[in-house]
Amino acid sequence: ILNQTFQDFELLIINDGSTDATADFLDSLEDKRIRVIHQENRGLCETLNRATSEALSEWIARLDQDDISVPDRLERQYNFLLKHSDVVAVFSSIRRIGPSGRPFGGIYSYLPEGNNFIYDPWVHGVIPHSTMLFNKFAVLAVGGYRSAFYPVDDWDLALRLSEKFKLAVIKEPLVSYRIHPNAST
């Protein structure tokens, strides 16, 4: 993520109570864009809510630690949002990769034929959360992530956002989404 063509961002990493050498590794990172927060384990939803609240920007890109963004992901999503001021979150299609990083199954598109479109999670279903770039204040306005809905907290959030705001999808895959054995996506 640090090799993005769009360089003006903060990489907020929250160490959610790791018990291995993760804390030492994170503290050794020397990039001025990185801000590390260590906390006792709170679980995914509380950690995502903390990250949303702590983020300095009004725009937040989500990326799971094992997924990979294409080099111009942030630039393309940010520019899309600048051109579509009525949209508060933009997703993308994905390229599926296995545990080793090898692509399989081609591109997984969430779009019918055509160009970018307004995303309705009630109609189109779940899009991997690692592809989302969203407005911090819109997410806070709908109450953030809800632990009661884990592991579909991302879909719950998209549904609540779609009730008040417009969401969109960029057709091209901007994230390589890692599929692990026994995963459902």
Average of pLDDT values for 56-67? 94
> Around Cβ 161, how many Cβ atoms within 10 Å?
22
By three-state DSSP, how is residue 172 classified? strand
> Around Cβ 10, how many Cβ atoms within 10 Å?
13
Alpha carbon dihedral 18, 23, 26, 27, in 10-degree steps, equals 160
CB 69 within 8 A of CB 174: yes
Q: What separation in angstroms does the CA of 50 have from each of 27, 66, 97, 116?
A: 19, 20, 29, 31
Q: What is the pLDDT of residues 109-158, one digit of tens each?
A: 766 555 567 777 777 777 889 999 999 999 999 999 999 999 999 999 99
Measure the CA–CA gap between 36 and 160, rounded to whole angstroms: 29
By three-state DSSP, how is residue 55 classified? coil
| Nearest residue to 88 via CA among 177, 34, 158, 24 | 158
Instruction: Give the pLDDT score at 158.
Output: 93
Instruction: Give the pLDDT score at 184.
Output: 55
Q: What is the pLDDT of residues 152-179, one digit of tens each?
A: 999 999 999 999 999 999 989 999 999 8
How much is the pTM?
A: 0.89
